[in-house]
Structure 1
Amino acid sequence: MLPPLKSLQSILSNEKSCINYLIEKGVLDSQSICNLCSSLAKRYEKVFKYRRKQCRISVSIFKDIFFSKRKLKVNEILQIGYYWLAKTPHISIKNITGHSPNTITYYANCFKALVGLNLQETQDKIRGPEIIVEIDKTKIGKRKYNHGHHVK
């Protein structure tokens, strides 16, 4: 069940609160450790900064996740994702968010791919105790206008 948009409005309207929400939910890391010197980095908005002399590098908090190398703000991506989950038509998402139809289609395809990656194929068999399986031998044919009719 999708939560009401009103309950998510404070998160989806502001990038900073959206990032904090994603950190709170464990989607984004709250801390990062340097690969070279094993020191903790300090987070500044959207980057982790390693302050030691031998390191002195900055790394995006979005590195190696879905949000990396995206041109839209995180809250805008999540807003498009919310409307996609709500099965809102693309033209309506375009009118609400102000993004181009190509952008909406691009992110809709990204979300479809993400959902597809998270689905697991199962070979469940319909059998077991207290499970009744009824098999019907009805034959239905389709002729004109895809109307089904019984076939002898």
Structure 2
Amino acid sequence: MIFDKEYDEFLKKFRHFLMNSRYGLCNACNSTTRFVSVDSWTEICTWNVCKRKESILSNTIISYRKKTLKFYFTVFKLMFQSIKLKDICTLLNCSYKSIKSISRKINNNVKEKYYDLIKPIGGPNLIVEIDESKFGKRKYNKGHRVEGVWVLGLVERSEKRKIIYIPLADRKKETLIKIIRRFVLPGSTIYTDCWKGYLGLNEYFNHLTVNHSVSFVDENTGVHTNTIEGNWSLMKRNVPIR
């Protein structure tokens, strides 16, 4: 199977991590647990009265797996390399239904974890450029119009060039300011265009704008949002049209 070397390396590191990690807690009695077997991915409660056994893969996207862990590892690798689902089916000789199910679980899991994993950007003496862009072309599909999704992009002007993308339910002032306050640190200087949804940001940040109907760079202040706008075309190339 493809990715044999990568899987063996992953397994080696994962086993080492499990054997050297701290004990977990039993879901039944809250006592400490220890690993019975790394190969079976099973841990057992250390309390003699309980002795509950449970897979460490419980409550994960492969909890009720019918395939091997190696199979899922390979699917994940292919998916994150943007290989189409139908091509993954051909490579692994499996049904489209199975791969589609795994893909759906991954997407749902990413959505659930995404916001919790994002660390705020910016801070004192740092500039954060902010812009929105629509993803998905407008078209008619079985009698109804598909409008696409608006995405808010935030990029920190620094050596690390930290970027955050947030899907938007709408572009209203309340929505945008709530998101920006959550993901941009106090003391930041924010650059945006003159979209009305950004009105009021100056209550929380040093907010400067550029009027794109006049120029892309403000002649007086030098303010521009070219950094975040330059990322949109690159990002959209990797997003399939539905």
Partner of 1:32: 24
User: Deviation digits for residues 14-47 of structure 1, max 9, x if unmatched?
Assistant: 5xx6455446679xx7632335372432331210
Equivalent residue for 1:90, pick from 85, 88, 105? 85
CA 1:19 to 1:47, structure 2 compared with 1: closer, same or farther past 3 Å?
farther
| Structure 2 stretches lacking a partner, 5+ long | 116-165, 169-175, 181-190, 194-206, 215-242
> Secondary structure of the equivalent of 2:192?
coil
Q: Following the alignment from structure 1 to structure 2, what is the Cα–Cα distance between the partners of residues 89 and 37?
A: 43
Whether the aligned pair in 1 keeps the contact of 2:43 and 2:55 (CA below 8 Å) is yes
| Structure 1 stretches lacking a partner, 5+ long | 1-5, 137-152
Tell me how large the CA RMSD over aligned residues is: 3.4
How many residue pairs match? The answer is: 124
Higher strand share: 2
Q: Following the alignment from structure 1 to structure 2, what is the Cα–Cα distance between the partners of residues 39 and 115?
A: 29
Q: Following the alignment from structure 2 to structure 1, what is the Cα–Cα distance between the partners of residues 93 and 22?
A: 31
Q: Following the alignment from structure 1 to structure 2, what is the Cα–Cα distance between the partners of residues 37 and 84?
A: 37
The normalised TM-score by structure 2 is 0.41
The normalised TM-score by structure 1 is 0.60
Q: Following the alignment from structure 2 to structure 1, what is the Cα–Cα distance between the partners of residues 82 and 50?
A: 46
Whether the aligned pair in 2 keeps the contact of 1:36 and 1:55 (CA below 8 Å) is yes
Shift of 1:48: 0.6
Whether the aligned pair in 1 keeps the contact of 2:34 and 2:44 (CA below 8 Å) is yes
What's the % identity of the aligned pairs? 10
